[in-house]
């Protein structure tokens, strides 16, 4: 199987780097770091051991790439409009497109544009970021949860997970993708926007009684929204308690949206906030506290 | 009738100043500006005409003051705990205490502490602020809405309103104080906290589609909360539209809570947010968007 990695930031650099390190055939599509990585390779500082990769197959133009069996999309959802022009150059019959992203409706929207491709949803439970040109720092965690969106691709999906496990990754197979996507939103909706609006971090939110209650309230709204949407594996309060405990035991942490905000990049409001709010509303549940954060984020996003 | 003004900021300086200018007998209780005003008097720059007042009856210790017929309280509600020690020096039989403040539960809490005094609630619809020692700037508006809390004081209340009208003030008598207090909260809840959390002003909130919707949503919550509490004169959507139109036609404006935030003063979260949320909840209605803002404000207030 050969691979194409779209986007080489914290996620794409780390997961793609591990595949390349395991001698898989990997093409990397880069943007701003192309020249640097072509000259100097990719440096990954990981809590599981640092490594350096030279002579990678790097590209700065998708037209020069070869079709791949597996295309792993690691850009922000705010760039998903690019897939419309990228994928025709990369897919062949039975290619698998893996969206390692956060939020709702990603797979169904892409399947509408490309009815024949096979899609897998991926959720990275990882603290990793790009700290310089061609330089990734992996701080903590690393589990990748995968769920099949297009049922006919079951065999290819199994080959992919085997390769990723070979590469040293911890892989979890979600028995139902929508249930897994909503579960990930429990944490993302609670912390991503709140750290941005209050310009703070997870630790300060947990140390203050009011905001600790606010993140709890937001998690409960996500649970209620998800369950109203009829996900196959409903979320219960035990899961919320687990998320709160996990966050309390984490180091001081800036969620991905807070990093986007700090670097004045567009925030993933649409997929992480607006889409879940809309889906829940259609199912008869109003996520009012979540909608307050969404409205505040849209204001902030337009005032950079 | 003789008067005591507690707190000589934008509100107390302007309204108290007008009473003194009209040759009413007025004692002023000052804090930080006492020495300056004793030496230099009070300067009021008003859109209705500037004026200066010398030889005022100023005090920096309530124990040196004489009991008054009318005690007008113009401090922030965050200082209302001081009234417990102040009022015994100032009230006599049939004294009237006027609370020109924002928020809910002010009169009932005070009446519990002082069962025999007469209480009037006041709401200032005014843009005024202290811009220096003994220096008040009155920018716009000025109407004072008064509502009687203690029914037995009807005659004294009428004398007070006559004096205030004599002094050149626009006075509105609220037929029901609770209805008037909730009406004022429609604007205060929508704009006070939102300008603080997003560090902005009323104009920017109105110019952005998301925050325009947010302030509208907050106003609707206040309307629903008030009506759930069974106020005598229910609020309807026409009133909300009036508040939105008024704000759109105002100059760029920082609400009082935003000024408190900018000057790192304690914010009036308890009276403007927490109490209304609690009252509405008791009556069966959850003000969820308002509660989100409240939780964020409490975090901000503890992180100065």
For B204-242, write each residue's pLDDT tens digit.
999 999 999 999 999 999 999 999 999 999 999 999 999
Percent of chain A predicted with pLDDT > 90: 95
Q: Mapped to the 3 state alphabet, what secondary structure does B196-214 carry?
A: HHCCCCHHHHHHCHHHHHH
- Name the CA dihedral angle for A169, A173, A174, A177, rounded to a multiple of 10 degrees: 80
Joined tokens for residue A268:
């993933």
Q: Is B303 close to A214, i.e. CB distance below 8 A?
A: no
Average pLDDT, chain A: 97
For B106-153, write each residue's pLDDT tens digit.
999 999 999 999 999 999 999 899 999 999 999 988 999 999 999 999
Decide if pLDDT at B251 tops 90. Answer: no
Q: Which of A213, A215, A295 to mutate to test the interface with B (most CBs of B within 10 A)?
A: A295
Positive or negative, the CA dihedral A110, A111, A113, A116 is positive
Per-residue pLDDT, B93: 86
Q: Is A135 exposed, middle or buried (0-12, 13-18, 19+ CB in 10 A)?
A: middle
Q: What is the full DSSP assignment across A101-112?
A: --SSSHHHHHHH
CA A50 from centroid of its chain's CA atoms = 23
Between CA A160 and CA A215 the distance in angstroms is 35
Please count the other Cβ atoms lying within 10 Å of the Cβ belonging to residue A190.
29
Q: Given the structure tokens 């790439």, which residue do they identify?
A: A65
Between CA B270 and CA B284 the distance in angstroms is 20
Which H/E stretch holds residue A181? helix A177-197
Closest among B217, B283, B274, B282 to B244, alpha carbons compared: B217
Decide if pLDDT at B280 tops 90. Answer: yes
Least CB–CB distance from B210: residue in A209, A214, A295 = A295
For A252-269, write each residue's pLDDT tens digit.
878 999 999 999 999 999
Between CA A287 and CA A285 the distance in angstroms is 6
Q: Which of B210, B212, B214 to mutate to test the interface with A (most CBs of A within 10 A)?
A: B210
Between CA B151 and CA B148 the distance in angstroms is 7
User: Which residue on chain A is closest to B217 by alpha carbon?
Assistant: A292
Q: Is A292 close to B294, i.e. CB distance below 8 A?
A: no
**Banded model confidence at residue A287, pLDDT cuts 50, 70, 90:** very high
Q: How large is the average pLDDT for residues A13-32?
A: 97
Per-residue pLDDT, B192: 98
Q: What is the full DSSP assignment across A25-85?
A: EEEEE-STTHHHHHHH-EEEEETT--EEE-S-EEES-GGGSPP-SEEEE-S-GGGGGGHHH
Decide if pLDDT at B183 tops 90. Answer: yes
Q: Is B211 close to A295, i.e. CB distance below 8 A?
A: yes
For B150-182, write each residue's pLDDT tens digit.
999 999 999 999 999 999 999 999 999 999 999
Between CA B188 and CA A109 the distance in angstroms is 41
Per-residue pLDDT, A266: 96
**Banded model confidence at residue A250, pLDDT cuts 50, 70, 90:** confident
**Banded model confidence at residue A290, pLDDT cuts 50, 70, 90:** very high
Q: What is the full DSSP assignment across B213-264?
A: HHHHHHHHHHHHHHHHTT-SS---HHHHHHHHHHHHHSPS---HHHHHHHTT
Using an 8 Å Cβ cutoff, are B84 and B50 in contact? no
Q: How large is the average pLDDT for residues A11-16?
A: 98
Q: Which of A130, A184, A258, A289 is catalytic?
A: A184
- Residues of chain A neighbouring B295 (CB-CB closer than 8 A): 210-211, 213-214, 217
Least CB–CB distance from A289: residue in B197, B204, B292 = B292
Average pLDDT, chain B: 97
Per-residue pLDDT, A253: 78
Between CA A172 and CA A148 the distance in angstroms is 12
Between CA A23 and CA B128 the distance in angstroms is 71
Between CA A44 and CA A135 the distance in angstroms is 6
Q: Is B295 close to A213, i.e. CB distance below 8 A?
A: yes
Using an 8 Å Cβ cutoff, are B77 and B256 in contact? no
Per-residue pLDDT, B254: 85
Least CB–CB distance from A289: residue in B204, B210, B288 = B288
Class of domain B2-174: alpha beta
- From B277's Cα to the closest Cα of chain A, the distance in A is 14
Q: Please enumerate in sequence order all residues whose Cβ is within 8 A of that of B250, keeping only pairs 6 or more positions apart, or say none.
A: B140, B202, B203
Between CA A211 and CA A190 the distance in angstroms is 10
Sequence ranges of the domains in chain A: 2-174, 178-301
Per-residue pLDDT, A93: 86
Per-residue pLDDT, A251: 79
Please count the other Cβ atoms lying within 10 Å of the Cβ belonging to residue A122.
25
Exposed e or buried b for every residue in B205-244, given b needs 16+ CB within 10 A?
A: bbebebbbebbbbbbbbbbbbbbbbebebebeeeebeebb
**Banded model confidence at residue B202, pLDDT cuts 50, 70, 90:** very high
Active-site residue flag, A184: yes
For A97-141, write each residue's pLDDT tens digit.
999 999 999 999 999 999 999 999 999 999 899 999 999 999 988
The DSSP 8-state label assigned to residue A274 in this structure reads: I
B11: left (phi over 0), alpha (psi -120 to 50) or beta: alpha
ipTM for the assembly: 0.94
- A-B contacts (CB, under 8 Å): 80
Least CB–CB distance from A208: residue in B213, B288, B302 = B302
| Residues paired with B212 in a beta bridge | none
Architecture in CATH for domain A178-301:
Orthogonal Bundle (1.10)
Q: Is A292 close to B200, i.e. CB distance below 8 A?
A: no
The three-class DSSP label of residue A277 is: helix
Catalogue the active-site residues of B: 184
Between CA B108 and CA B111 the distance in angstroms is 5
Percent of chain B predicted with pLDDT > 90: 95
Beta strand spans in A101-176 (E): 118-132, 135-148, 171-173
């Amino acid at each position: 199987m050969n691979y194409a990695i779209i986007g080489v930031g914290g996620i794409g650099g780390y997961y793609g780097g591990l595949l390349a390190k395991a001698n898989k055939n990997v093409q990397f599509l880069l943007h701003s770091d192309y020249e640097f990585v072509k000259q100097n390779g990719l440096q990954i500082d990981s809590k599981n051991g640092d490594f350096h990769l030279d002579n990678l197959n790097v590209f700065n133009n998708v037209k020069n790439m070869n079709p791949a069996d597996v295309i792993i999309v690691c850009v922000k959802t705010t760039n998903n409009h690019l897939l419309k022009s990228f994928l025709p150059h990369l897919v062949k019959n039975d290619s698998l497109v893996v969206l390692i992203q956060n939020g709702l409706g990603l797979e169904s929207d892409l399947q509408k544009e490309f009815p024949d491709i096979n899609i897998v949803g991926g959720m990275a439970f990882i603290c990793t970021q790009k700290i310089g040109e061609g330089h990734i720092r992996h701080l903590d965690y690393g589990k990748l949860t995968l769920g099949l969106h297009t049922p006919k691709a079951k065999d290819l999906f199994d080959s992919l997970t085997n390769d990723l496990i070979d590469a040293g990754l911890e892989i979890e197979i979600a028995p139902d993708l929508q249930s897994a996507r909503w579960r990930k939103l429990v944490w993302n909706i609670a912390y991503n926007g709140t750290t941005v609006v209050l310009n703070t971090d997870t630790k300060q939110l947990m140390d203050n009684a009011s905001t600790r209650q606010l993140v709890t309230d937001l998690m409960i709204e996500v649970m209620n929204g998800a369950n109203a949407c009829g996900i196959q594996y409903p979320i219960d309060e035990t899961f919320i308690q687990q998320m709160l405990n996990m966050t309390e035991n984490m180091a001081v942490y800036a969620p991905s949206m807070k990093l986007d905000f700090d670097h004045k990049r567009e925030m993933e409001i649409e997929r992480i906030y607006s889409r879940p709010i809309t889906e829940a509303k259609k199912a008869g549940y109003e996520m009012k506290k979540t909608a307050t954060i969404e409205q505040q984020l849209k204001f902030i996003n337009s005032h950079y």
